[in-house]
Structure 1
Amino acid sequence: MQTLNPVTLAFDGQQLIEASAGTGKTYTITGLYLRYLLGLYEDAQGNQGEPLTVEQILVVTFTEAATSEIKDRVRSRISMAKNMLLGEHSSDELLRDLIAQLDDRQQAFNRLDMAAKSMDESAIYTIHGFCQRMLKQHAFESNMAFNLRFTLDESELHEQAVFDFWRQFVYPLRAEQAQAVLAHYSSPHSLLKELRALINRKQLQLQPHIDDPEAELTQLWHCQSEYLKALPQFKQALREGDFFNAIAASDIKGNAKPKHKSNLAGLAAFSDNDDTQLSLGAAKHSFSLWSAQSLEDPSIYKKNGQPFSHPLVVEFERMAQLSQGLGERLAQVICVLALAYVRRHVQSNKARTGIIAPDDLLSQLYDALHNDSDNQLQQQIRRQYPVAMIDEFQDTDPIQYGIFSTIYRPSDEQFTNLTMIGDPKQAIYGFRGADIFTYIDAKQQLGAQQQYTLAKNFRSATPLVESVNNLFSSHPQSFIFNDAIPYQEVQANGKDKALLYKGEALGAMDFVFYGSGAEVLSKEQGQSALAEAFAKRVHFLLAAAQQGDLLLGETPPCAGDFCILVRDRGEAALMKQALTRQGVASVYLARESVFKQPLAQHLYRLLAIIHGPYDERALRGLLAGPFYNFNSAQLLALSDDAEQWQQQLQHFAELKRRWYRDGALAMLEQLLWQNQLPQVWAEQGWDVERLLTDFRHLGEILQHKQLELDGTARLLKYFHQQLTRDSSEGDSAQLRLESDAQLVQIVTMHASKGLEYPIVFMPFAVNFRSASAAYYHHQGQLYLDLSKQQENLARAERERLAEDLRLLYVALTRPIYHCALGLYNLGKHKRSQLLQSALGYLLFPGAEGTENVRELLQARLAPYPDMSLTDADHYQSGENLVQENAAVERQVRAQRAVIERNWRATSFSALSFKHSDYHGTSHSGGDDEDHRLQQSLVLKQASPLAQLTAYDFPKGPGPGSALHDILEQISFRGVLAGEAQAMEELEQVITHTLHKYALDESWHALLCSWMVAIMRCPILESGLYLGQLQSDDCLVEMEFHLALNELDAQHFNATMISLFGYDFGLDFERVKGVLKGFIDLIFCYQGRYYVLDYKSNYLGESADDYNDEALTHAMNAHSYHVQGAIYMVALHRLLAARLPDYDPAKHLGGMVYTFLRAMPEGHGVYYRPFSVAEIDTLDGLFAKGAHYA
């Protein structure tokens, strides 16, 4: 390629400039920008070009930060040129050459002055910003709708479309079909996870190609039907025939692979059980293991052995053919169907709601340009922007390149020019859709005279530049695709400063080796050792700098001069912990979301517990976490001290009030200072600045969202969504810098692109992740092979290695003076994988093995004096730095004290657990969520889905808890009214709950209609139904703790008999302490307050089985009257504490028990009011216990 001279570059339509790292790409862009401003160029006919304005020079890049930087650099360059025109001296050679060409300096000054004043109007945009502007300006030509709402986050639209597909596709399936689908996609969430990376990649082609997925699915279901018909007879033939004996006695080797003999036990078990799918553990074969093709392989037989034959071999082949489509092929068909459905419905939903996303801007402008038969749109954009420069061109994709190659298609009608500038060696954003093959294609469409390179590195010292050259140029395929993007050595600019230790220069590129070299080490072993080694190295060098032994030129480096490059947050955390152990303060810089930080999970649990319903086990877990830091002794003491427990509950109640009144941030600030969290975290040796920054950042986001969203429940839902999504809230959620002090920096390699650091360490330089999905390119087209054929997986792995090599190049071109790379013989199961890493691939070209890596590395580095090899333990920790924050090790001592146990917390379940047996067998079908026996959750295969009712819903504690969870989270009024948002939330809650309790997704439709019907069922004699209740009139899952004073079973049973006329026969030891529990719902209606409890008991299969007599029997048989009495006392005490003029005769209602299965038919509601005398009796019993008379 030609070396670029930006002063003489010919603007002959299109040019490609390859700008290696540190060679002055932005400097070149601003220089070309000034040529356009000053008219220092020739048009296609060789005529002097017209000076252009800042509004006519289009510069496109990929991020807002990059646009801001280019604008600032252009402003600065214009200002410098103006000063030079006024006679000021400058060392800027390019500006001097440009000014020397000017005929009229005053006119040039005026033009630059006008440009400087107009920079706010300059056409320097992100690519999405440019497309949005063009679509708005040319709305008619592009068929762009008006008043569209822009969104950065399409995840909710994707989620909704996947859920819609699931309802329309999965719910109507027969049970055996649904089972086959669930074997691949266990829920809509698992399907969404598969589709998320595919939805917006419109250029992607799926393999294997399926012409008619619906027809193929029909065929698969037919095969399944035939398979299920044939299976019983096949199993019978196995059980009754001699196949097992015949195989065992055959000449097949016992250790032959695939394992025909050792898998016989699994086959025998399959023939005896009710399973419909043959599973042989890790074996890749099923029925095909005993097919003719498998048994014809001569390698499986003993020497001179006879081939095996049996009549059942034909049946094995038939069963294999019928069942094989229900494996990978079914998953592929579903994926294709779902992807098409989701794309279609996302687009229709966007059109219907007036939403547009970033990728839509690109595709709409692309379509408008390519559907522009008379080229009107192209011409209008060209007239507006006759010249354009695309920065970071290596990160483009086919759509983006298609836009600009169409606009700036060579034309004789007017002068236009497109300059593409980038570095293919730094194309590292394939995971975001950037496509290095688009760059290669663009390059191949240009002639050699249109391709240029920048040949001089202005960033790094000469030894470092030469080391990078040596590393990459000594491998003939250093970037895999070297035919298209060859490595071209760059010259150093001659920086002569070096990193000196006691007057001697350290090697520019140091390879830090751990291990013997012959021994293969796991990733965990190597990472742990190298993290410690590099932390000690940093500590040693910082101590040497403090003592004046380490110098950069003549100045000791500070902590901020050191940068540690890592691949991800896991490596960053490992390195940060190692540095902390050495007393070295560090800061982690990453372009990732604060919601991905560990503290976000703790904060979500805190808010969920404060919001309720309270969960005592979760609460104790919270107290042991970073916000309270209780040790085991404190938690034990809390369990046995009612007063202290009440104080803790009061603390949470205060936080809840503060949250509801003043917002999340105010509540979190109160918690921060009440619990003295900065001091506590410091005592634990934790990273206080990082934790405080994340704590306040999350608080600010939640405070802002609380103002947008209606209620704390929706805020919690939003918080949970952010924790589970791949991306969160754009720039507002990007991790903040925790300190502006001069600290050692830990930066991801991706985030370091475009930056520079004096000293760079890469402890985990040999780490890599093999390609898990078969994305690959072929003849310019991107494919995804869903079947993961070995050939295509190998292609994907090759492309993974190529991108890792580019990422390594980015990392190696960040340092200015010195870098060090960690290295060890990485592998698994004693097999080296070092050559699969980018660094191993570069260091050992042509190597077939790594028997002794250390010796190979010594030989590899020997010709290069600036590349050195040191052992990992070469640097030991130096003397203590000025300030050292050693981590505090805390151990919990074993508890040897005898703990007094006559005070305890108990519950209704505990009191009723020792129910006397003399009542005999309970009423038929008394199963509820309180029962210990879990019933079957399998959908009856004979029942068509349309005929299912609430009576068919599974029984047992899991399904009962699932119904409770749903009713706790939905809007009663919204569901009854059919409001869109409420119904969407209902469906999402049901989906999540079914997944949580491992219930079949086919219950979704029933649960939706059931919940609506429950909202219509009267619950009071006045005709009130749940759907009439406002959220402000309801308190969901209130936890209570009632003080108990020496309560015994005799007095308790006597009181219950006097109230309900029934001997519940409760048998419990005398108890003193607190009676705790949760009330499903407290609601207020016409000034009176009621408790309501949901019951999922199965009393029969018709409404007649839920008549008054049956409900009374169930209330007695399960001691629900006792439970309700306890709830009424809790409500009574709550109202006495909260209502200033509380009068139980006026304010207290009664207890409502709803037996949910019968509510769709208007039955299943049990109501009992309580008189003042009855409440006083119960209150006195709990307050005075055995002393109450």
Structure 2
Amino acid sequence: MAYTFSIDQQKIIDSRHQNILVSAAAGSGKTSVLTERIVGLVSDPANPVDIDRVLVVTFTNAAAKEMKERIGKRLNEMLAAHPENEHLQKQATLIHSAQITTIDSFCLYLLKNHFTKVDADPSFRVAGEGEIELLKEDVLKDVIKRAYASKDEDFYHTVDCYAKKDKDNSLEDSIMKLYNYAMSYPYPEQWLEKRRGDYAFESFEEFKRSELVKDIMKAVDEAFEEILEAIEATRKSCLVPGGADAYEPTMERDYEDVKALREAVKGKDYDEIGAMISAFSFVKLSGKPDCEESEKKYIKDLRDGYKKALAKIKDSFFYQSLEEFCNDMLATAPVVNKVIDLVEDFLRSFDKAKRDRSIIDFSDMEHFAVKLLVDEYRDDGTYDISDVAMDYRNYYKEVMVDEYQDSNLVQELIVQSVSGENTEGIHNRFMVGDVKQSIYRFRLARPEIFMGKTEVYKKDEDAPHRLITLKENYRSRQCVIDSVNAVFENVMTAERGGVEYDDDARLYKGGDYPDDVPENTTELILVQSDEKADKAREAEAFKIALTIKDTVKNFKVKDKKSGEMRAASYKDIAVLFRSPTKWRNIIRDACENAGIPYHIEGTGDFYDTTEIRQVISFLKIVNNPLDDVSMYGAMTSFFGGMSDEECARVTEAATPSMRFYYEKVKAYGEAHPENEKLARFLMLLHRYRDLSKILPINELISKLFDETGYKHVVSAMPDGEKRLANVNMLVLKASEYAKTSFYGLFHFLRYVELIKKLDRDEGEANTFDENADVVKIMSIHKSKGLEFPVCIVAGVDEEFNRMDLSAEFVTDIDAGIGASYVDPVRRLKRPTLKKKAIIAKCADELVGEEIRILYVGMTRAKEKLIMVGLCEDAEEWRSHPGTGKYKSYLDLIKPAVTGATKGLFEVRSWDDADAVTESTAAVLENAALREKLEGAQGEDSDLYEKIKERFSFTYPYKNLEKLYTKTTVSNLKMAAIEREDDGSFKPFEENEPSEYIPLFAGGEQEVKGTDRGTAYHEVMQLTDFVKVADSADRAKAIAEELARIVASGRMSEEDVAKVRRDRIKTFFDSDVAREMAEADRENMLYKEQPFVIGVPASEVEDDFSADETILVQGVIDAYYVYNGKVNVLDYKTDRVDSADELVKRYKKQLDYYGEAVKKLTGLEIDRLLIYSFALGTTVVVR
């Protein structure tokens, strides 16, 4: 087979005796070139190399497999041409043991061959992710428990400062985050120890001279640069046709003034800079432009934006003196050190737990390899390699790394240790990648490693460290290449994206497309919608579906085999999303409604599929039958086979003392032995509870499927092949779990919940046929390395996710840990200067990462690139240049689309109102077919009528697609309020103004209304009503009850302190408290009663059918029987002005409580009551 390579590609294939760094642009054929270089080394006439003396490191198993197959195929081709060549015969054998592998597999190879040198158990096992996550959770709980038991004041202060009351695991999350960062460093303990110095300064003078202050000055200067860019963009917007041109001189003045301020602050003292910025003021906007008011407002809004940006510099970095910032840092040091202590404790404990089980994880593989290959590693990054590393360095003739831009520090040290890159006379290092496609920041990849190499490696052909650039793109048509270049030459820079988008970074056409086919333009479709977010996304998805249909109907692509142009098919099209999980249902519905065949790449919802959810519900009640929601779910699943009405009926035999649904089910079954369905279900449940104690989880599940015929049932359901594959996959997952160090159903269910919580669900079983004629829908990350004739990049208006920047600890592997200072007296929290510097750095890196992700998405297209997003006013958007503020892909695209290169793009606006017109057009398109059918009446009128009847049927319950099967009373209350709301009232949860209470360190902390409300409810549940009501001194009785509750361990002193005792006394002085106490004497007072009932779906949404049922769950604060009738009471702590406001807010909730109690007791409801602690009164709702 003949191969034709470009000049630059051939240089890479032929170069010898050099360390080589290849910067390979998207579509540049790097895999083929890498394959040919390896084959060239092996078959070199002068110095042939055995294939097993070449180490090739890739980043996925699939890539390693493909590479090995490509090399094997080329060797077989050469061997077929030269069958007598003994060297080639040998290579054909050695290829199977060659180290063409992932970095993890190479590390495992090292460990298995040298385990004695790192004190590893020779019988070690590589644990799966699920087992590791369970073990991490257990170890972390032990670490926190030990810390509490130590009674360490520094720990209590740390919890006081950083543990959020509304999210108890926030401290644990911070520990795990820092642990993960530490493990991306070659020596985790060394990195953690270094972090202790982040907040340690001998003096204020040292702090003033620190790198931290220099970083802040750099961030301030970059902020000035962004403001100047925004001013210039605003000035250009003044000059657009019909624009507010009279404002342009003011923009020029603003630019000069801010530029002068930027120059003036350089070299000044920190506090002086703050004063200069504070003193600065913009001139008054002058001029009377002759234009539309909307244009004036647009310019004023832009100007307000950059004025606020300047004010933000002051508010962010200069709201206090530098010395005060220094004091904040010093005061925060003990807290940061305590968190580091916890991370170190976790690291040691986790390592011990793994050793006790003789297991390792993927991180261990890499760190064992480092320990094996490096004797000493110094703070400056220099190191001494071991004898083992030297042996491998001498053995490997070439060490190659693919996707080098995604390496981290640990991986780089490992590969560098076994290569001779930094050794005189050894040139065996080969690296290939593309910084522009480094999109794994969340995995702590370090594109800086690649960029650092470009400073050392030179283009000189004779250089020992040689840089070769592949710029030609063999994938895409000129129109795609031009639009990609236009976008990224405006936004990708060394500071923002990691690489300067210069002539070396640009793409150049290398592909061959028929000359007689005219070039098309890249499309940007702006969808305008007045609907709320979800509805607007539905409109966007509808437009995407229409675009797919139009592409298949009208667009032609080059056939891969024949090279001729042909009509596009569905399999030629891919729809890419930044985060497809939230789009899954929307885009699925749009495709199905349009009749478009599609396949969605796994989006992590395996455990939420119907067939798996039913099994998990049943397993949950096998583990714990007192789980009410799972019991109801199992009863209405295949395993129970009961309707909502049947499930509701089982409560008829219940007594008030029965708290759990299972108790009521059992009682009903005993009272109605003739109910065979229920008897079978209970028999199945009890049988599998017994079996769960003796069978491994995989055998338990397999037995359940075999005995019940569950696999046959799911196979007969719609999409049965995939459902059956999912069920088989569950058995496989259970089998993998059974091999772990955990045992039993309880831990398996923990594993399932943990996978869902950590968003590690790998998605449904893959039954996808790669050759099927379907549209492929996936994330941009999943699309990396792939190519599609037509590529639709969707959701380009979605704002970048900046949640990580608001975390308690903002972390960077180089800059360290950014924490907040907490004032111990006033309980105020503010970010330290360290945290501000790291946030600024991470914000820049976040935008850079998003630029690279967009680059990957756009460069997947071969022949047609279409981008789609929402836009409030498309005409306004396209008529003004970009502002320099990048919050979304639409912002990144705008400079190219509205600037000098706008001719490369076709910008089309589409209003969701157009959906009616386009839907009508689709109907009319079928008119010819309908006429044919109608014309056939004379030929076979009976057949015609049957066809007409079947195809004219309209599903009457289309709205039930949105129907959910389970909800809560609070959700129903919200739904009711939203339907009744006239705009004067916004629903909110129980809310009381925040107050301050003492915490661990003796300071005060703000108490949220939700925390206080919870405390009131707990006190009312635990208090002895009879004792307090009968006491002559109720205030004293209440105090004694609260002390008893604390002594029992049911509530802490801190929680009890959130309750105002005078308000509790006011309640017990009321008539309703007297009635409840009397009911309690007769054992007729029921507190905190959980319930599950079925309600008509129409009560939730007006357009849902009343024939459908939704499961409602909730907890009733209290109900009591008085004078033979039932009263339902709900406690509220809301701060309100009147009782009417509470009635309006909670009537629907109390109605459901009443209905539930009526079904529970069989008694009539006398009153629905609210007791308001804020008003000190009982409110009759009904």
| Class of the TM-score when normalised by the shorter of the 2 chains | 0.5 to 0.7
Q: Residues of 1 paired with 2:701 and 2:540: CA distance?
A: 41
- For these two proteins, the number of residue pairs brought into alignment is 781
Distance 1:420 1:772, change over 3 A: same
Distance 1:361 1:646, change over 3 A: same
Q: Residues of 2 paired with 1:752 and 1:560: CA distance?
A: 14
The offset of 1:10, in angstroms, is: 2.5
**Equivalent residue, structure 1, for 2:507:** 490
Equivalent residue in structure 2 for 1:805, among 851, 868, 872? 851
- Residue deviations 1:704-738 (CA, integer Å, cap 9, x gap): 6468765433433333333334536xx8x775346
The offset of 1:588, in angstroms, is: 1.3
Name stretches of at least 5 consecutive residues in structure 2 with no aligned partner.
Answer: 1-5, 203-273, 281-320, 377-383, 461-465, 654-667, 692-698, 821-830, 930-949, 962-996, 1003-1013, 1023-1045, 1056-1080, 1086-1092, 1094-1120, 1122-1182
Equivalent residue in structure 2 for 1:123, among 99, 109, 113? 99
Q: Residues of 1 paired with 2:959 and 2:201: CA distance?
A: 64
Structure 1 residue 381 and structure 2 residue 386: aligned? Answer: no
Q: Residues of 1 paired with 2:647 and 2:477: CA distance?
A: 59
**Equivalent residue, structure 1, for 2:1168:** none
Q: Residues of 2 paired with 1:176 and 1:378: CA distance?
A: 43
Q: Residues of 1 paired with 2:744 and 2:957: CA distance?
A: 42
Equivalent residue in structure 1 for 2:27, among 12, 16, 22? 22
Q: Residues of 1 paired with 2:607 and 2:727: CA distance?
A: 11
Distance 1:451 1:739, change over 3 A: closer
Equivalent residue in structure 1 for 2:760, among 724, 727, 733? 727
Structure 2 counterparts to residues 551-630 of structure 1, below 5 A: 554-568=565-579, 569-590=581-602, 592=604, 594-595=606-607, 603-615=615-627, 618-620=630-632
Structure 2 counterparts to residues 42-441 of structure 1, below 5 A: 48=46, 50-85=47-82, 109-139=85-115, 146-153=122-129, 154-173=132-151, 178=156, 181=159, 184-185=162-163, 189-202=169-182, 203=185, 210-211=196-197, 332-371=336-375, 376-410=387-421, 415-441=426-452
The offset of 1:655, in angstroms, is: 5.6
Q: Is the 8 A contact 2:797 2:869 kept in 1?
A: yes
- Residue deviations 1:168-220 (CA, integer Å, cap 9, x gap): 2223438998487256325874322222232132238689954499999xxxx
Q: Is the 8 A contact 2:804 2:810 kept in 1?
A: no
Residue 844 of structure 1 aligns with an amino acid whose one-letter code is K
The offset of 1:68, in angstroms, is: 0.5
Q: Identity of aligned pairs, percent?
A: 17
Distance 1:1066 1:193, change over 3 A: closer
Residue 761 of structure 1 aligns with an amino acid whose one-letter code is I
The offset of 1:778, in angstroms, is: 12
- Residue deviations 1:873-900 (CA, integer Å, cap 9, x gap): 688353599999998736799xxxxxxx
Distance 1:463 1:347, change over 3 A: same
Q: Is the 8 A contact 1:513 1:823 kept in 2?
A: yes
Distance 1:12 1:138, change over 3 A: same
**Equivalent residue, structure 2, for 1:718:** 751
The offset of 1:435, in angstroms, is: 0.9
Q: Is the 8 A contact 2:199 2:332 kept in 1?
A: no
- Residue deviations 1:60-90 (CA, integer Å, cap 9, x gap): 111211110100111112223334558xxxx
Q: Is the 8 A contact 1:611 1:712 kept in 2?
A: yes
Residue 727 of structure 1 aligns with an amino acid whose one-letter code is R
Segment of structure 1 superposing worse, 360-369 or 868-877: 868-877
**Equivalent residue, structure 2, for 1:889:** 957
Residue 513 of structure 1 aligns with an amino acid whose one-letter code is L
Q: Is the 8 A contact 1:180 1:326 kept in 2?
A: no
Q: Residues of 2 paired with 1:75 and 1:735: CA distance?
A: 30
**Equivalent residue, structure 1, for 2:894:** 844
Structure 1 residue 456 and structure 2 residue 502: aligned? Answer: no
Structure 2 counterparts to residues 468-507 of structure 1, below 5 A: 468-475=484-491, 477=493, 480-481=496-497, 486=502, 488-496=505-513, 507=520
Q: Is the 8 A contact 2:126 2:361 kept in 1?
A: yes
Structure 2 counterparts to residues 602-1001 of structure 1, below 5 A: 603-615=615-627, 618-620=630-632, 647-648=677-678, 650-654=680-684, 657=687, 663-668=700-705, 682=718, 693-702=725-734, 705=737, 710-727=743-760, 735-737=765-767, 741-774=772-805, 781-787=814-820, 789-825=835-871, 835-837=885-887, 839-845=889-895, 857=897, 862-864=902-904, 867=906, 869=908, 871=910, 876-877=918-919, 878=922, 889=957
Q: Residues of 1 paired with 2:344 and 2:396: CA distance?
A: 37
Q: Residues of 2 paired with 1:442 and 1:739: CA distance?
A: 41
Q: Is the 8 A contact 2:447 2:498 kept in 1?
A: no
The offset of 1:444, in angstroms, is: 2.0
Distance 1:942 1:114, change over 3 A: closer
Q: Is the 8 A contact 2:622 2:685 kept in 1?
A: yes
Structure 2 counterparts to residues 512-523 of structure 1, below 5 A: 512-515=525-528
Equivalent residue in structure 2 for 1:509, among 512, 519, 522? 522
Residue 340 of structure 1 aligns with an amino acid whose one-letter code is E
Equivalent residue in structure 2 for 1:38, among 31, 35, 43? 43
Q: Residues of 2 paired with 1:822 and 1:321: CA distance?
A: 45
The offset of 1:394, in angstroms, is: 0.7
The offset of 1:506, in angstroms, is: 8.2
- Residue deviations 1:85-115 (CA, integer Å, cap 9, x gap): 58xxxxxxxxxxxxxxxxxxx6xx4322321
The offset of 1:496, in angstroms, is: 2.2
Q: Residues of 2 paired with 1:557 and 1:688: CA distance?
A: 29
Q: Is the 8 A contact 1:397 1:434 kept in 2?
A: yes
Q: Residues of 1 paired with 2:102 and 2:414: CA distance?
A: 14
Distance 1:136 1:707, change over 3 A: closer
Residue 36 of structure 2 aligns with an amino acid whose one-letter code is G
- Residue deviations 1:581-621 (CA, integer Å, cap 9, x gap): 33333221137573476875564333213443245565345
Residue 49 of structure 2 aligns with an amino acid whose one-letter code is L
Q: Residues of 1 paired with 2:7 and 2:536: CA distance?
A: 44
Q: Is the 8 A contact 1:136 1:144 kept in 2?
A: no
Q: Residues of 2 paired with 1:616 and 1:861: CA distance?
A: 62
Q: Residues of 1 paired with 2:437 and 2:602: CA distance?
A: 18
The offset of 1:554, in angstroms, is: 4.4
Structure 2 counterparts to residues 529-548 of structure 1, below 5 A: 529-542=539-552
The offset of 1:747, in angstroms, is: 1.0
The offset of 1:36, in angstroms, is: 1.0
- Residue deviations 1:286-316 (CA, integer Å, cap 9, x gap): xxxxxxx99xx999xxxxxxxxxxxxxxxxx
The offset of 1:839, in angstroms, is: 2.7
Q: Residues of 1 paired with 2:567 and 2:637: CA distance?
A: 41
Q: Is the 8 A contact 2:623 2:689 kept in 1?
A: no
Equivalent residue in structure 1 for 2:482, among 466, 470, 474? 466
Q: Secondary structure at the match of 1:114?
A: helix
The offset of 1:748, in angstroms, is: 1.2
CA-based RMSD of the aligned residues comes to 5.7
Which structure has the highest helix share of the two? Answer: 2
Q: Secondary structure at the match of 1:389?
A: strand
Distance 1:177 1:815, change over 3 A: closer
